[in-house]
Structure 1
Amino acid sequence: MSKIFILKTGAARPNITEKHGDMDQWIYQGLNSEQVEIRNVLMGDALPELSECAGAVISGSYHMVTENLDWSLQLEDWVRQAISREIPLLGICYGHQLIAKATGGDVGFHPNGVEIGTVQINKTKLAESDKLLARLPQTFSAHAIHYQSVQRLPPNAVRLAENSFEANHSFRIGRCAWGVQFHPEFNDDIMRMNVQNLKETLEQSGLNTHQLLENIQPTPTAAGVLATFAELVFEQR
């Protein structure tokens, strides 16, 4: 039976996992489907056979795409093969950047540093007809935390969302491969704990962590992207 595979590329900090579980579990819950299997590619799990893959979600990570780690480069090759077969993909944060890099885009450190907290994101006009993002309002709140970003989209990519900090918050390649820089799997407490964990570093870079924490709010609209993706995967079968 074909499944959606969650390809785990990172782990949350221990104080977060003790309270909320780990990244793959948040994604699993958001997909709202029983036909899901988790592969921890960071820890050496084999990538799924394309023939058994109905779709895949590539998680976020504390690693950077530009580290070019062996497992990450292998995943890039797998992504290219999956896209060539039109297997639905959703990349989140690290996964978003990895899909972009795998298909000819440029990834690097954002010149303005980190984007973190609950942020406002705007859809582009092309997102109105996009199967994944069409249901979202023109402007929506989402959680974000990233130091690197997609600095140049791959050739033929469709830009779907942006804000004043990040020009490429979402894109699509072909018919069914998407990247989202934001985190639909985060709830507000996970976002809050991430800010608290980075408090000293953020303040050293001039950010007001008190204000960041004050601005954190639930983001149920952005969270719906995961369930929508699962619906699209099984509609396509």
Structure 2
Amino acid sequence: MRIGILQTGHAPDEVRGTLGDYADMFKRLLDGQDFEFQTFDVVDSVFPKGPGEADGWLITGSRHAAYEDHDWIAPLEALIRDIAASGKPLIGVCFGHQIVAQALGGRVEKFRGGWSVGRQVYDFGDDELALNAWHQDQVVELPEGAQVIAESDFCPYAALVIGDNILTVQPHPEFDAKMVAALIDHRGEAVPDELLEAAKAGLTKTTANDQMAERMAAFFRKGAK
């Protein structure tokens, strides 16, 4: 099964040589699932011809906001709508979660409650999963037909299923402790010090990245056409 990764941002320059870019992190996360990957740097305006270029699609995180005025945002939203209509499975993570919701009629904004960084616990109904987060923006209005499948006290729309072929999650199952530490060091200037310290304290605690990877892989396989 070929997964097309729509890369909407880049990891900090300081760590890209050791940890790779965002697409590389997802490849590691889903390693062993018998997937092939092709990356499209949509943040640099490199787009696939259409949904048919892959069996499933994945949208990464980004330091950009879904509501910002970038040349690549509108084409990405159009591609999201095309993928949704095609029936091919689509997974969005963090920015991917937000841009999918926005493209399909929801609303994203800078959350008045501030930032969520580091290890957080999310209620998935059947289980509680600890995953790393790094965001200030949130989905605040759901697109039509969206079902909330995970929440936290800070993030009520932490994961969504839309129709039969779209899964989105706000936290980052592809981020390990090394990546969170890198974000603290290189992209933490806007985050309050107390939140950075709490994130540092959580670096030694386990996360459910592997469990989330299994859920994502199962979603891709179930939706493949």
Question: Same fold by TM-score, threshold 0.5 exceeded?
Answer: yes
Deviations 1:80-109 (A, max 9, x none): 111112110000101000000011111000
- Partners of 1:211 and 1:4 in 2: CA distance: 35
The size of the alignment, in residue pairs, is 222
- Report how far residue 13 of structure 1 moved: 0.8
Query: Could you tell me whether the CA contact under 8 Å between 1:122 and 1:161 is conserved in 2?
Result: yes
Query: Could you tell me whether the CA contact under 8 Å between 2:50 and 2:82 is conserved in 1?
Result: no
Hey, what does 1:221 align to over in structure 2? Answer: 208
Query: Could you tell me whether the CA contact under 8 Å between 2:4 and 2:53 is conserved in 1?
Result: no
Identity over aligned pairs, percent: 25
Hey, what does 1:47 align to over in structure 2? Answer: 48
Aligned structure 1 segments of 4 or more residues deviating by more than 6 angstroms: none
Q: TM-score, normalised by structure 1?
A: 0.86
Residue 160 (str. 1) matches residue 154 (str. 2): no
Q: TM-score, normalised by structure 2?
A: 0.91
Deviations 1:202-236 (A, max 9, x none): 23xx5243332012245552343334433443443
Query: Could you tell me whether the CA contact under 8 Å between 1:3 and 1:53 is conserved in 2?
Result: yes
Letter in 1 for 2:44: M
Query: Could you tell me whether the CA contact under 8 Å between 1:27 and 1:226 is conserved in 2?
Result: no
Hey, what does 1:211 align to over in structure 2? Answer: 198
Query: Could you tell me whether the CA contact under 8 Å between 1:55 and 1:233 is conserved in 2?
Result: yes
Structure 1: 5+ residue stretches without partners? 129-137
Residue 186 (str. 1) matches residue 185 (str. 2): no
Letter in 2 for 1:106: R
Deviations 1:119-155 (A, max 9, x none): 111114xxx5xxxxxxxxx211100001101011112
Query: Could you tell me whether the CA contact under 8 Å between 2:117 and 2:196 is conserved in 1?
Result: no
1:220 to 1:214, Cα distance in 2 relative to 1, 3 A: closer
Structure 2: 5+ residue stretches without partners? none
Hey, what does 1:176 align to over in structure 2? Answer: 165
Query: Could you tell me whether the CA contact under 8 Å between 2:159 and 2:170 is conserved in 1?
Result: yes
